[in-house]
Structure 1
Amino acid sequence: MSQPRFTNDALYAAAVGLAIRSGSLKRKAEASPEHSHSSSCSYALIATDGRLIERFSLQKVQAWASERDKVLNRIEGRRKLQGLPIEQRLARFRSWPEPQRALAWAVSSGQPIPPGRFGAGELLTAVLLLALFVLPGVVFLIWAVPRGRSYRQALAILVRQWRASGEPDPVDAAFRRLVSR
């Protein structure tokens, strides 16, 4: 199976996110998109002063870029922005619920993204398992309900972090893609 092809902007944003998560980068502004580059098997995140911040395997950077894309695709209401002038897109985006805006900010700033959620797919799975086989349905619910609770808690923490940072709009290519689709 071939790896998805990501733009340089997407790879850079993913590498910044990984570096922030690992602690080797404090602020996104310290990294240089012009100097950072990928090779056939790695991605070198370079600082504005030319020093190497960290080198990641290309597979790891692509996996994180893919995760960022999944989160952006999960943000509801994104398709309603299509075809609107940019001012209206930004105004509508700013009127979205705080968790959705905080997720978009987290994707663009390299903040940790809450893992998983208990959504419609999990609910349908639980109902089918309960209808067909009671015991597997109960086991699935025992696993899924705490997972959903931890997602909501992690999302609440993310919203608090977003508020503490001044409720900024996301600024990287992921956000431009979000409001330009």
Structure 2
Amino acid sequence: MSTLAGRNRSKSRRPQPPEEVAFPVTPMLDMAFQLLAFFVLTFQVPSAETHLDLDLPASPLALPSESKGKGQAPASRRVDTDLENDLWIRAEADDLGDLKSLRLGEAVQPDLTTLGERLGRYVQIMENRPLRVRLVADDALRYEEAARIIAVCSASGVATVRLTDPATQPAPASPMPRGAP
């Protein structure tokens, strides 16, 4: 009988509710703050080599609207739309992405040193007006090559270097017919 009584007792017992699992929030927060501190402390500010002064055209919708009877926007807000005075540099790449040819306008430049000298002469001619350059580079051109061209432009005194899509480059001047004056 004792075995029957033992069985009845075990059947009459209800299962205990599961124990509550403690969720350790504090160690997880500690780890999150450690990761945050790691990334903040190891972040390196980009050097001047990775800094590009991009002068992007402003759309009319992005400009502030005129209010309270102001006639013109301040001089610092004016959009310079005179694009014909920009110098165009065309950089073509070979199959490996190296610089194959370099043109300033229509003139072929043999190397970056010659390009820098020509740009320096343009800066002297322009005197107090800023010289702007538009760089049209092949898609295959390596970043290092484009960075060297931009560095030569900056060292020559060029105020602004704009990276431009090849589709916006003006068509080369066609030679005049022989009978034309």
TM-score range, shorter chain: under 0.3
TM-score (norm 1): 0.23
Q: Quick check: which one's strand share is greater?
A: 2
Q: Quick check: which one's helix share is greater?
A: 1
Structure showing greater radius of gyration is: 2
TM-score (norm 2): 0.23
